[in-house]
Amino acid sequence: MISFIRGLVADTTENAVILENNGIGYEIFMTGSSIEQVSRIDGEVKIHTYFQVREDAMQLYGFLSKDDLEMFRLLLNVNGIGPKAALGVLAGLTADELRFAVLSDDIKTISKAPGIGKKTAQKLILELKDKLKLEDAFEKKLVHEQEAASVSGFLIHDGRQEAAEALIALGYSSTDAMKAVRKVTDVSPDDVEALLKAALKQL
């Protein structure tokens, strides 16, 4: 019903932002880091929203990117995970980290999220794994890396991507694989085999 709201941040609470649009203040529940981020923005901010209607309440949940909103919607499809738990998962993990954790059966990483135990993490992986693709996960990760590159000057190359993918296939977590590949600086980014060998030494 409400895809996004653009307006000015009128106030913030511990778990929500009050966004003013045309004289109406919308209470939008967000992660702590997102609340902190929008509170620092001068001028209008665009928040992608999920509108939940229950018998006893109508609530808005907000995200700074469409990608986060998509992951939130996916999490809601998992039996036993409601909006608050889904928001808790995205407070502990980025959308990229969550995708890779699901695809690599990384129960440990997912169960670190607030309110998510080992059994829920296993269920989450089981129910979401067939809805995610490794190629898509890398493509989105690459886009986010490129966006960050405009700030940091670092760009992940195709060879690095393939090396990280190979490490995940070998059983390493996505986070460890990415970190190991990034640490390799003395090998040509196009030499996948050399990158893989050097990254394995880091691990």
Report pLDDT digits (tens) over 12-61: 999 999 999 999 999 999 999 899 988 888 889 999 999 999 888 899 99
Residues 138 and 124 in one domain: no
> Of the residues 44, 63, 82, which one is the last residue of a structural domain?
63
The mean pLDDT value of the chain amounts to: 84
Residues 122 and 86 in one domain: yes
Using DSSP, state whether 132 is helix, strand or coil. Answer: coil
Domain count, the chain: 3
Confidence of residue 119 (pLDDT cuts 50, 70, 90): confident
Confidence of residue 155 (pLDDT cuts 50, 70, 90): very low
Residues 75 and 86 in one domain: yes
Domain hosting 111: range is 66-131
CATH code, domain with 31 = 2.40.50.140
> What is the per-residue DSSP string for 84-111?
HHHHHHHHHS-HHHHHHHHHTT-HHHHT
Residue 5: count other Cβ atoms within 10 Å of its Cβ.
19
CATH code, domain with 85 = 1.10.150.20
Residues 94 and 142 in one domain: no
Express each pLDDT in 69-115 by its tens digit: 999 999 998 888 899 999 999 998 888 888 888 888 888 888 887 77
Residues 127 and 85 in one domain: yes
Residues 141 and 119 in one domain: no
Residues contacting 196, CB < 8 A, separation 6+: 163, 166, 167
Q: Distance between CA atoms of 105 and 102, rounded to whole angstroms?
A: 5
Residues 57 and 72 in one domain: no
Whether the predicted model's global pTM rises above the 0.95 cut: no
